[in-house]
Amino acid sequence: MIPSNANLTADRPSFVTHLECGLTGERYDADTLQGLSRVGRPLLVRYDLEGVAAAMTKEALAARPADLWKYRELLPIRSSEHIVSLGETATPLVTLDRVGAARGARAPIVKDEGRLPTGSFKARGLVMAISMAKALGVRTIAMPTNGNAGAAAAAYAARAGIEAVILCPDDTPEINVREIAAQGARVYRVNGLIDECGAIVGAACKANGWFDLSTLKEPYRIEGKKTMGLELAEQLGWTLPDAIFYPTGGGTGLIGMWKAFDELERIGFIGPERPRMYAVQAEGCAPMVRAFEAGERHAERWEDAHTVAAGIRVPKAVGDFLILDAVRESNGAALAVSDDALLAAVEEAAGDGLLLCPEGGATLAAYDRALADGMVGRDERVVLFNCATGLKYPMPDKSRTLDRHGEIDLASL
């Protein structure tokens, strides 16, 4: 019997060859601490994919424990001694049967990332980034957050013995702020948006010699988020869905999945077919939607950003061109939905037994729009990403009260 921690302890070969600027293709050393490329764009990890194909088989993967570390040959960690883990289990695929029936459509599938440590898909990216920070000798990390990323960073940094400094907008959900502090990070509330927090982080990192762990400003959060695509393909029998709806702020997961699909094809695990990728944003903060509709490859900053879905309230993303490239290459789209629509979607999905976060609700609202506009067929296999547990977000109180001392009309209960 294979031990449950085998993926964390097994001696598996590393196939990382180099890092590469996502915009220019310039190569960088993979074993040196790196941030952005010389032109200020994200670095991507590259692998000897012929070597991966020879070393990793579908049968071997099937026999390994079901966590994200099973894909070690396609991950940047060279030695198991540097893995920092809190139990990153595979997340389930849950069909919304009532939702599908109400639309006369095949039930949409939710990949429920809220089952991960710290309750969100940010665990995937931050476990990889912190593990690599540990491997490369980082002592202090700093980053901005809208909530869940900071919580994951704080937890993994605590696990690794790395100091963490987290800045968040002052209206970040209270549970996230307290969660970050509870994990031992220094957390500061800032009277601004996440990119304005990021500017302070950048200055502080330069002044204090800290490492900037901001979204896409180091190479490894993409590699962690990439495991969503690897895992999804395996869960669907090494096939891909017709469409994926992904809540898009910084867009690391969308970029990572698109990279995963390319790598899987190149090692012979899947064919050339790809899902249409739908980048989902809120109407109050939709820089990717505006750039997509204008035919631009880069997105201008969105002023006065506002939405109840804090995780996708990102006015400007450093990886904008990678998001838009993936959306266009897949024949997908960038879609914006209203706060009212996404909150209604959360309520509807709860009637199917699944409590979505607001950002997850946005994907269901966007699916509805795509159905109405004919972008998605009613018989197509569609995957929606719920990026965090709905338990982290405020819920309306719909309870009623009973007076146990008075007469209770039991028939009316």
Arithmetic mean of pLDDT, 215-226: 96
* Overall number of domains in the chain: 3
What percent of the chain shows pLDDT beyond 90? Answer: 96
Domain end among 182, 212, 242: 212
Residue 2 — pLDDT band, cuts 50, 70, 90? Answer: confident
Is there a domain that residue 407 lies in?
Answer: no
Is there a domain that residue 164 lies in?
Answer: yes
What percent of the chain shows pLDDT beyond 70? Answer: 100
pLDDT tens digit string along 358-384?
999 999 999 999 999 999 999 999 999
* Same domain for 362 and 243: yes
pLDDT tens digit string along 48-105?
999 999 999 999 999 999 999 999 999 999 999 999 999 999 999 999 999 999 999 9
* Same domain for 261 and 345: yes
* Same domain for 381 and 273: yes
Q: Is the pLDDT of residue 253 over 90?
A: yes
* Same domain for 350 and 247: yes
Is there a domain that residue 72 lies in?
Answer: no
pTM (whole model) above 0.85? yes
**pLDDT for residue 396:** 87
Is there a domain that residue 1 lies in?
Answer: no
* Same domain for 263 and 131: no
* Same domain for 371 and 255: yes
Domain end among 212, 243, 262: 212
Residue 355 — pLDDT band, cuts 50, 70, 90? Answer: very high
**pLDDT for residue 1:** 59
Is there a domain that residue 348 lies in?
Answer: yes
pLDDT tens digit string along 287-340?
999 999 999 999 999 999 999 999 999 999 999 999 999 999 999 999 999 999
Is there a domain that residue 110 lies in?
Answer: yes
β-pair partners for 279: 246, 334
Domain ranges, residue 357:
93-118+219-391
Is there a domain that residue 55 lies in?
Answer: yes
Chain-wide mean pLDDT for the chain? 96
* Same domain for 297 and 386: yes
* Same domain for 329 and 285: yes
**pLDDT for residue 3:** 76
* Same domain for 290 and 351: yes
Is there a domain that residue 143 lies in?
Answer: yes
* Same domain for 134 and 102: no
Residue 394 — pLDDT band, cuts 50, 70, 90? Answer: confident
Arithmetic mean of pLDDT, 189-212: 96
Residue 116 — pLDDT band, cuts 50, 70, 90? Answer: very high
CATH code of the domain in which 161 resides: 3.40.50.1100
Residue 4 — pLDDT band, cuts 50, 70, 90? Answer: confident
Q: Say if CB 26 and CB 37 are below 8 A apart.
A: yes
Q: Is the pLDDT of residue 395 over 90?
A: no
pLDDT tens digit string along 23-57?
999 999 999 999 999 999 999 999 999 999 999 99
* Same domain for 257 and 111: yes
Q: Check residues 165 and 396 and name the one with the higher pLDDT.
A: 165
* Same domain for 169 and 253: no
